[in-house]
Structure 1
Amino acid sequence: MKEITERDKFGTSDFFGIFINGYNDGQQDFRFFVSTAGTQMDCLATESGEDYSWDGIWYSNVNLTDYGWTVEMKIPYAALRFSEQKEQIWGVNFFREIRRDRQKFTWNRIDNKIGNTITQAGILEGIQDIKPPTRLFLIPYSSYYINNNKANGTNTEFKAGMDIKYGINDSFTLDAILVPDFGQTAFDNVVLNLGPFEQQFNENRPFFTEGTDMFNKGSLLYSRRIGGSPSTSPDVGENEEIQQYPSRINLINAVKISGRTSKGLGIGVMNAVTEKAEATIRNSETGAIRSEVVEPLANYNILVLDQRFRKNSSVSVVNTSVIREGAFRDANVSAFLFDLNTKANTYNLSGNVKFSHVNDFDGNKNGYTAYLNFGKTSGNYRFSTNASYISDQYDINDLGIIFMTNYHNLTFNSSYRILNPNKTFNTFKISTITYTELENVTGKPQEASLEFNLETTDKKNHYFGAGFLVSPFETFDFYQPRKDGRYVYNPKY
């Protein structure tokens, strides 16, 4: 089957792929795919999943014949990461999917009883006397803008800057943007938001989407905060009106360094600086115009240390901070994370503890959250149970995003699935999910649900599914009224 798609979109085509790990450490694969239509797909794969925002430079060619199709792939060393050792052992696997009947084939067997595929690569030996190439990319840019309207006439603006990507060594990469212009990135869709929480938008700026897997640990980074809207509003007196208010803060520069040592220690450092922004206020009686700082010069930082061991477990420390010039709001968040798996990837124990500190006009605010999960992650029968607690003062919204605080919850999931096709089904899965969430102060349930799902595919790959969801208790929404002490009552169903 063949379907022409844009890059990184598989569509309904057959495709072939190669997975390469230059360190054979079970930590990260570079994956390259080619479809029968000649479309390239590539990603970085970790235990967290596949990141298709990464785009390497490599070459491929497809030839369709009367008996099938062939593919040629040429992958430069610059698109990979490997050590400087004289003799090397790489982890490699080859993958093929036949779309018409959903069959998947691998060169080295992947056991679907185990959820993690990057630890199941084959071994490629005999690689000798190769050296990582110099990885240096300089991408300058310039742009010229012309804006014309009846009120302000014609305004012009010239911008110039540069993107830099440099391989410090075989393990670490530096990315930098100097005086960036994101005028060519995709715009956000217009959304009518009537809910109690802010709208979360996707990140479209390449610097903040490429190679950011390390910085996403702990879910403390919402990069749209950097260069977003001002953090304060001007004080408007009697007979005054806001004449001009900046919708976005200009980014001066940003730098990130990330990589992983041969001992499994991942290090990520990111820094960004945004310029001062002012609002213009006009007195309607006197005509006097004044300006007021609504966002000072600000420095955004994130540091990540992630130690992996046994190819399937990790312990991490994350810190984020926002430092604003003058008497403006500053924030700091620290987190400790762990993800532990048994040697056979049968059981998992994971969790985290996070602390937030905010220094605002009204004084200091300290908050915390804790999370613990235990589960069986392989085999026909799987389960997980987890609990979390979030204090009312926990706040990561200067560099992250969080909607709800001041609650604790408990979740239990269980499922049964077949791992190999039988006479009736190719796949079969039954799962249940129970979730209870309570407000910290009153102890009233904010959410309570019991969910049941059935998913199957028959021998012709037809999908059949069914499910139901019930809420066995009445619940209380403390957020929708937007006023302390009030709530919306939701009956059970």
Structure 2
Amino acid sequence: MKKLVFLTLLLSTFWCFSQKKALQAKSISQNISIDGKLNENEWENAATASDFITFEPDNGKAVPENKKTNIKVLYDNDAIYIGAMMYDDEPDKILKEISQRDNFGTADIFGVFINGFNDGQQDFMFYVSAADVQGDCIMTDANGEDYSWDAVWISKASIIENGWVVEIKIPYSALRFSQENKQTWGINFFREIKRTRYKYTWNFVDRKIGTFTQQAGVLEGIENIKPPTRLFFMPYASYYLNAGEGQKTYGTVKGGMDIKYGITDAFTVDAILVPDFGQTKYDDQILNLGPFEQQFNENRAFFTEGTDLFNKGNMFYSRRIGGKPSVEPDLKDNEEIIETVQNVNLINALKFSGRTKNGLGVGILNAVTEKTFATIKDTISGETRREVVEPLTNYNVLVLDQRFRKNSSVTFINTNVTRNGHYKDANVTGLAWDLNTKANTYSLFGNVKYSTINDTEDTNGVFSTVSFAETSGNYRYSLGTDFVSKDFDPNDMGINFYTNYYNFYGNANYRILNPTKLFNSFKIDYEMYSEFNKESGKVQANRIEAEVNLSTVKNNYYGGGIEISPLESHDYYEPRAENRYVIIPRKLDAWASVSTNYNHKFAIDFNPSISIADEPGRAAYGADISPRYRFNDKLLLIYSFSFLKRNNNKGYIDSYDDDDNETTPETIVFANRDVITYANTISGKYAINSTMTLNLAVRQYWSSAENKDILQLEPDGTLDPYPQYTENKNSSFYSWNADLSYSWWFAPGSQLSALYRNNASNFERIIDKDFKHNVTGLLTNDALKHIFSVSVKYFIDYNAVKNKVRKRA
């Protein structure tokens, strides 16, 4: 009898968890005041969503009664409204650190996740913290959460005697949905109690299944809505004051506008006119000794917000637009460049994106950059001339993404760069697929890309990848392979470093899905990777890796790993010459990581690492350490120190041809060098309130490469002494960046920001090992630049303006 009762309870629990919960939204005609009180009568009469279930760490466990959550949903022709009551029997212990938007810090969180097409593919996520801070993102299982997306919506949180309350208004303009008269949306609600690090969802999300967005509940009852015209203007005005030691101080005024227009409830056009990116975050430049360019993060809002479609297939690197000039001017022996630009100016840009009710996503991005010149001077006559370093250029991305079966997609992508006149044009076309079984237990992922370069010599290339994975359960694995031809080149609008190879890789891992007496989470990974040159068949890379990551019941995080390269490999990139390679010895890498619980006022991150090569004296070691202290709910300071030393590092420094003997191979010069890198950063914030913050970001960086022995690369990939080379090729790069900013979101979508920035950098061949002198030298020399700027952008809703005009009339 007991067994029968237990089986009945087990089956009923499974039935409850496996069914999608449904909630009825209630139509209203009365205005709702977003004040965090839920005191309107409409809230009383609406249906309630409750009975939350633990997402992590104890997946599937019911929420205790003293931590229950009740949710209600209302709607009208303008927006959807969410009212949430989070009960807590210890309201004085609710964590409520005030932070910047999209960065919740140490605070309890409530979230609502909406999928207007109910296709299990993409959620629009809206969060509010107990400190009344907003956060929003777009979520896909393939790419995770993208917090660069910012919508315009209204919320208010307030702490009361038995918990805390959130009231939210989300205009339809912030969502995407079909034009059906009767709407059925996917929806889930989320709550995190920060002091225990427990996370809960309304509809059960089973962590055994490798998907989140497809385990939402259903919102019903939204019928016959007539959303207003989705037309928004965001004019801005900026003032910049530039100054430097011994330089003329000057001011600049800029102005422009962003426009957002909803063609339908599912498709939107975003346009940027006369762009201004002067207040974007600085780039963390490094001493780059390798054969490839440094890749930078995108900090310009237009190219980060809502670009999930354009990132399909990993073919779009937005920093190409408005990046460095693509043309090297032809200089005579007696000429030098006296004036050029680091980045080409963007004239305008436009995005069109959306999805039909049948799951077809369409994305078009277009941008135009201006014709740009460099000034060249004849050092003998003193005459100057101008030469084009970037013609008028058009960048275009087209994406067609067909979703089906709520968990799979096939995507067509095309990127195109057209330069005016007789300059290089580029085109890349790709087909990507992400196929999953109905139960989300297995997946087949891959893509094929074809590049075409139209230049003085046309080239074509292919990239393909395919992988198969088990994506559910405690034990998971994946297998894959890539093939890249020699002439594959997507770098006019994308970024790719390695070509002319094929590889094979596999991964197996184990994780716990529910906490134990010791761990909240535990995961161990094992990976193997082998890469071969396509033409010679030589090993280009090989590694066997094992890694463990875990969190304790006290919410401290630990990790560590070891990686072995058991075979010599052949680096075809470092020599920077066709068909040449340098032999890389076998090596062993190991690392560890510690991150203590951020709930405590003081916490620390520590990440040491070591690398030992099978070559006398060739090794590297370093560490990152980052203590942080939260003085109170408003003030937080974080200091980070990073150190890395590479002993007997072998790297390229020069090459030249023997002009007298065409049969002699190019002479490639390497150096045996010691490379040392230091970086100090300080970041902090003082939150005046949930919409107003002061932020500090300081970074000091110094890296040097001191050559000990000069070496010549032999045709067989070995290195021999080359004492006849006497040119100084030591490298020393140091930089300083400091930003002090003030941000005030004075109205939904409207922001005033002020920024003071000073920065300087210097590259030398002479290495000065006086650390203090290097820092003070930057701060006192003529290279230090000072910029003060103020920017105001204002969000204007066409319908709000129209209604005000009608009322006055």
* Alignment TM-score, normalising by the size of structure 2: 0.59
Alpha carbons of structure 1 residues 476 and 419: separation in structure 2 relative to 1, 3 Å: same
What letter matches 1:487 in structure 2?
Answer: V
Residue of 354, 361, 378 corresponding to 1:266: 361
Q: Name 1:354's counterpart in structure 2.
A: 449
Supply the distance in 2 between the matched residues of 1:23 and 1:491 (Cα, whole angstroms): 52
Residue of 83, 90, 101 corresponding to 2:185: 90
Alpha carbons of structure 1 residues 5 and 473: separation in structure 2 relative to 1, 3 Å: same
Supply the distance in 2 between the matched residues of 1:319 and 1:341 (Cα, whole angstroms): 24
Q: Is the 8 A contact 2:478 2:506 kept in 1?
A: yes
After TM superposition, the structure 1 = structure 2 runs for residues 324-473 of structure 1, keeping only pairs within 5 Å, are 324-361=419-456, 363-473=457-567
State yes or no: 1:483 paired with 2:545: no
Alpha carbons of structure 1 residues 474 and 150: separation in structure 2 relative to 1, 3 Å: closer
What letter matches 1:102 in structure 2?
Answer: R
Q: Is the 8 A contact 2:568 2:583 kept in 1?
A: no
Q: Name 2:612's counterpart in structure 1.
A: none
Supply the distance in 2 between the matched residues of 1:427 and 1:147 (Cα, whole angstroms): 50
Q: CA deviation at 1:432?
A: 0.6
State yes or no: 1:316 paired with 2:316: no
Q: Name 1:221's counterpart in structure 2.
A: 316
Alpha carbons of structure 1 residues 432 and 356: separation in structure 2 relative to 1, 3 Å: same
Alpha-carbon RMSD across the aligned residues, in angstroms, is 2.0
Secondary structure at the residue paired with 1:198? coil
Q: Name 1:43's counterpart in structure 2.
A: 137
Secondary structure at the residue paired with 1:50? strand
Q: Name 2:647's counterpart in structure 1.
A: none
Q: Name 1:233's counterpart in structure 2.
A: 328
Q: Name 2:306's counterpart in structure 1.
A: 211
Q: Name 2:339's counterpart in structure 1.
A: 244
Supply the distance in 1 between the matched residues of 2:249 and 2:187 (Cα, whole angstroms): 58
Structure with max Cα Rg = 2
Q: Is the 8 A contact 1:92 1:121 kept in 2?
A: yes
Q: Name 2:374's counterpart in structure 1.
A: 279
Residue of 255, 266, 270 corresponding to 1:175: 270
Q: CA deviation at 1:192?
A: 2.0
Q: CA deviation at 1:428?
A: 2.7
**Residues matched between the structures, number:** 492
Q: Name 2:106's counterpart in structure 1.
A: 12
Secondary structure at the residue paired with 1:303? strand
Q: CA deviation at 1:66?
A: 4.3
Q: Is the 8 A contact 1:83 1:132 kept in 2?
A: no
Q: CA deviation at 1:334?
A: 0.5
Q: CA deviation at 1:320?
A: 0.5
Alpha carbons of structure 1 residues 458 and 172: separation in structure 2 relative to 1, 3 Å: same
Q: Name 2:223's counterpart in structure 1.
A: 128
What letter matches 2:378 in structure 1?
Answer: N
After TM superposition, the structure 1 = structure 2 runs for residues 129-168 of structure 1, keeping only pairs within 5 Å, are 129-143=224-238, 158-168=253-263
Q: Name 1:100's counterpart in structure 2.
A: 195
Residue of 109, 128, 145 corresponding to 1:34: 128
Which structure has the highest helix share of the two?
Answer: 2
Alpha carbons of structure 1 residues 124 and 282: separation in structure 2 relative to 1, 3 Å: same
Supply the distance in 2 between the matched residues of 1:240 and 1:431 (Cα, whole angstroms): 57
State yes or no: 1:297 paired with 2:419: no
Residue of 249, 260, 279 corresponding to 1:184: 279
State yes or no: 1:57 paired with 2:152: yes
* Alignment TM-score, normalising by the size of structure 1: 0.95
Supply the distance in 2 between the matched residues of 1:459 and 1:283 (Cα, whole angstroms): 70
Supply the distance in 2 between the matched residues of 1:469 and 1:147 (Cα, whole angstroms): 48
Q: CA deviation at 1:53?
A: 0.9
Q: CA deviation at 1:146?
A: 5.8
What letter matches 1:203 in structure 2?
Answer: E
Q: CA deviation at 1:426?
A: 3.0
Q: Is the 8 A contact 1:243 1:281 kept in 2?
A: yes
State yes or no: 1:196 paired with 2:291: yes
Alpha carbons of structure 1 residues 283 and 156: separation in structure 2 relative to 1, 3 Å: farther
Alpha carbons of structure 1 residues 474 and 288: separation in structure 2 relative to 1, 3 Å: same
Q: Unmatched 5+ residue regions in structure 1?
A: none
Supply the distance in 1 between the matched residues of 2:373 and 2:534 (Cα, whole angstroms): 40
